[in-house]
Amino acid sequence: MKTLRRNMLAIPIIVWIGLLVGTPLIFVFVLSFLSRDNLGNIVVAFTLDNYKRIFDPIYIRVFFNSFLLATLTGLVTLLIGYPVAYITSGLNPKRRAVSIALIMLPFWLSSLLRTYGWIILLGNTGIINNILVGLNIIEKPLNMMYKFGTTLVGTAYMLIPFMIIAIFNSVDKLDRSYLEASYDLGAGRLKTFFNITIPLTLPGIFGGFTLVFIPALGLFFISDLLGGGKTIFLGNLINTQVTKGRNRPLGAAFSILMIVLVLVVLFIYSRAAKREEGGLFQ
Amino acid sequence: MGKSLLSLTGINKYYDKNHILKDVSFEVIDGEFLTFLGPSGCGKTTLLRCIAGLEEIDSGDILLKGQSIKGLSPNKRNVNTVFQNYSLFPHLNVYDNIAYGPRVKKSMAGDELKTKITDMLELVQMSGYEERMPNQLSGGEKQRIAIARALINEPDILLLDEPLGALDLKLRKHMQRELAHLQEKTGTTFIYVTHDQDEALNMSHRIAVIEKGRIQQLGSPREIYNNPRNLFVASFIGDRNIRKVKILEGGEGFAKVELGSNIIDIRCVHEAQHPCKSGDTAILAIHTDKMQVSCHEMPNSIKGIVTSIHFAGSQTRIDVDVDGEDMIVIEYLKNECECKVGDPVYLVWEETGAVLLPLEDSEDPRGFEEGDAV
């Protein structure tokens, strides 16, 4: 009774989230077990066909692409994000605020616009090619667009703030006296970084990786715009099934699968974070 | 006195515009237990960090075994630190924490390292704790592991930065004895930082009293306690009645002074530096526990009236009004004189309990006012 009274204030938000997140989720879940007719209309007839089709070899390839893209995005953002977060936490308060503002700034722009920005930068008649050709460094424009790598660049760019902020929180909390103790015991800067700093900021690394990995699995417009739809990812597949493919039940089944994948990643993360004592969900 | 191990000359250190260390020079003798004692913010920890290499000095030089270590990074100095908050690496167990130094320096490995760690744990009485993680240890246990982690590197000097500050009183007393014992056993030179005078007096061979970035006095605990060089040392260490007095007659190791309506004889300290001249004003400092109350008129005594008596078990505190200002007497033994509040009494003191200090460059941390009983 007491706990109920204490948690009473949370009831509106629970109802709100239940309506806006729970209802669609239940709808998608039910939809994934239904069939469709030739025109794409939903037929209320229970079937497991959608889930059987998921394991078609064609789709397995799509899962693999998505996993590869998400993993590589995680690694790229980690390699670039860690130094940025590390340096930012070492700045004086004024510069640090500027640095964090600059990291967060892209969030205020439409993600679609930012992706178009990359086309302007990387395209055959884009800024980079124009400069290189203009300076006679190359004769023909470099073909940088519509490749797996282009999608990777776009996705990593889109998600890197999550990685930086997650690691920044971890590095910022790091007690500098551990580093001093390490120097004092005879370790140089490099050894201290790998023996002390990295292990003690692992929660931030895991957290950042999870925050980047999950959206990277589902983003579809970046691969549409920058990858030219050549490599199909899970997000594209769901998008296509629901819109052009007129197969909403199959799209729903893929969505459920993706949620399961995300939950698996989160489970692995929570185990890792627990072992390291600290992380996003503490 | 052994040979000099560490020598600091003219050390100056600034943080922005604050002058933290002012021309600090001293020698550390091989095998001694030296304590930096001073109030918080006096620069003692900064001085320790300068020796460790964790802070750079702005001028002066530091010689370890005759070699300058100025500008060397901490990992290149053969000194180790026990930090105030222990700073045990939380992701490593006790064994790996202690093994950290030898491993990063590649000075020991395999069975040799294992044997050494077993020895170290035995030395700090923590055998069998190899697998524990730091968060499974109590404060005192962390302390011992931090000492073992530093000592395994066989440093020329072990630096200890208020290592007992976080422990409760009983454990602190116990660890004090243990630290002194450990120092004796290993023969390692210890430099210990504390603001606790009991700790300093208990453990040290020598104490450097530091205030406002300067060493006010460097000497054995006995010297510091009985023979303070200036007002700061006198008021910081021990409890003393501190009064301004007028010198009527200055002699060799002796002075006749005027304290209110009393004229008394006092031995004079540090004559070489501050000769007692007739007519000068000086500071008289008398240990409260080296004074006694007498009901009968005594030669060379201070006359006063008892204003209050506080009984506190092993000791009794008697406040005596002397010419309108209180003087405190702490008595440990039951006195023959059963004085009551309002009684006129005569205060006498052991000769070593009273010192006469120069008025100039006297700085009292608590803001000296005439007649303050500190």
Tens digits of per-residue pLDDT, B26-83? 999 999 999 999 999 899 999 999 999 999 999 999 999 999 999 899 999 999 999 9
Mean pLDDT, residues A24-52 taken together: 89
Mean pLDDT, residues A142-159 taken together: 91
> Best of B46, B81, B84, B87 to disrupt the A interface by mutation (most A CBs within 10 Å)?
B87
CA atoms of A14 and A34, how far apart (whole Å): 29
Q: Which chain A residues are within 8 Å of B150, Cβ to Cβ?
A: 184-185
CA atoms of B222 and B79, how far apart (whole Å): 28
Question: Cα A259 from chain centroid?
Answer: 14
Q: Which chain A residues are within 8 Å of B85, Cβ to Cβ?
A: 175, 177
CA atoms of A64 and A50, how far apart (whole Å): 19
- What contacts B108, CB < 8 A, 6 or more positions away? B102, B116
DSSP-based three-state secondary structure for B344: strand
CA atoms of B180 and B2, how far apart (whole Å): 18
pLDDT in tens, B237-288: 988 998 888 888 877 777 888 888 888 888 766 554 556 677 778 888 888 8
| Cβ–Cβ gap B83/A182 under 8 Å | no
- Helical packing angle, A93-104 and A148-173, nearest 10°: 150
CB count in 10 Å sphere of residue B313? 5
| Cβ–Cβ gap A180/B83 under 8 Å | yes
Out of A81-90, A123-132, B277-286, which region has the weakest mean confidence (pLDDT)? B277-286
Does the pLDDT at position B368 exceed 50? no
Beta bridge partners of B283: B244, B357
A230: confidence class by pLDDT, cuts 50, 70, 90: confident
% of chain B with per-residue pLDDT over 90:
52
Among A78, A149, A161, A71, residue whose Cα is nearest residue A114: A161
**pLDDT of res. B226:** 86
Nearest to A185 among B90, B135, B153 (CB): B153
Is B224 exposed, middle or buried (CB count within 10 Å of its CB: 0-12, 13-18, 19+)? buried
Does the pLDDT at position A147 exceed 80? yes
Among A241, A239, A246, A242, residue whose Cα is nearest residue A222: A239
- What contacts B180, CB < 8 A, 6 or more positions away? B33, B202, B203
For residues A232 and A12, is the Cβ–Cβ distance under 8 A?
no
**pLDDT of res. B264:** 87
The DSSP bridge pattern shows strands B214-219 and B354-358 to be: unpaired
**pLDDT of res. B151:** 95
**pLDDT of res. B1:** 57
Does the pLDDT at position B200 exceed 70? yes
Q: Which chain B residues are within 8 Å of A180, Cβ to Cβ?
A: 54, 74, 81, 83, 87
Mean pLDDT, residues B186-209 taken together: 94
Q: Which chain A residues are within 8 Å of B160, Cβ to Cβ?
A: none
CA atoms of B186 and A198, how far apart (whole Å): 35
Q: Which chain B residues are within 8 Å of A188, Cβ to Cβ?
A: 73, 75
CA atoms of B149 and A53, how far apart (whole Å): 60
**pLDDT of res. A45:** 85
Nearest Cα of chain B lies from the Cα of A198 at a distance, in angstroms, of 11
Beta bridge partners of B24: B11
Mean pLDDT, residues A166-187 taken together: 94
Fold of A32-280: MetI-like fold (1.10.3720)
Domain residue limits, chain A? 32-280
Q: Which of residues 20-79 of B touch A (CB under 8 A)?
A: 52-54, 73-75
The DSSP bridge pattern shows strands B157-161 and B79-82 to be: parallel
Nearest to A184 among B74, B85, B135 (CB): B74
- What contacts A119, CB < 8 A, 6 or more positions away? A126, A145, A225, A226
To which residue do tokens 């605990």 refer?
A: B221
B335: confidence class by pLDDT, cuts 50, 70, 90: low
Beta bridge partners of B28: B6
Measure Cα distances from B310 to A92, B172, B341 in Å: 54, 28, 11
Average pLDDT across chain A, whole number: 89
Mean pLDDT, residues B12-37 taken together: 94
Nearest to A186 among B85, B91, B101 (CB): B101
Q: Which chain B residues are within 8 Å of A177, Cβ to Cβ?
A: 83, 85, 87
Residue of B nearest to A188 (CA): B75
CA atoms of A195 and A190, how far apart (whole Å): 8
**pLDDT of res. A275:** 67
The DSSP bridge pattern shows strands B254-259 and B240-251 to be: antiparallel
DSSP-based three-state secondary structure for A30: helix
**pLDDT of res. B362:** 46
Out of A185-189, B167-171, B352-356, which region has the weakest mean confidence (pLDDT)? B352-356
To which residue do tokens 């290499």 refer?
A: B53
Does the pLDDT at position B146 exceed 90? yes
Mean pLDDT, residues B108-128 taken together: 92
DSSP-H helix ranges across B66-108 = 94-105
Per the structure block, which two tokens stand in for B274? 């501050």
For residues B176 and B164, is the Cβ–Cβ distance under 8 A?
yes
Q: Which chain A residues are within 8 Å of B136, Cβ to Cβ?
A: none
CA atoms of B121 and B118, how far apart (whole Å): 5
Does the pLDDT at position B2 exceed 90? no
Total residues belonging to chain B: 374
CA atoms of B64 and B78, how far apart (whole Å): 9
B336: confidence class by pLDDT, cuts 50, 70, 90: low
CB count in 10 Å sphere of residue B187? 8
Q: Which chain A residues are within 8 Å of B83, Cβ to Cβ?
A: 177, 180-181
Backbone φ and ψ for B277, nearest 5 degrees, come out as -110, 145
CB count in 10 Å sphere of residue A113? 9
> Best of A174, A178, A179, A184 to disrupt the B interface by mutation (most B CBs within 10 Å)?
A184
Per the structure block, which two tokens stand in for A259? 């949620």
Among A74, A28, A54, residue whose Cα is nearest residue A217: A74
DSSP B150-209: HHTT--SEEEEESTTTTS-HHHHHHHHHHHHHHHHHH--EEEEEES-HHHHHHH-SEEEE
Mean pLDDT, residues B1-11 taken together: 88
**pLDDT of res. B366:** 41
> Best of A170, A175, A180, A185 to disrupt the B interface by mutation (most B CBs within 10 Å)?
A185
pLDDT in tens, A232-266: 899 999 988 888 888 899 999 999 999 998 999 88
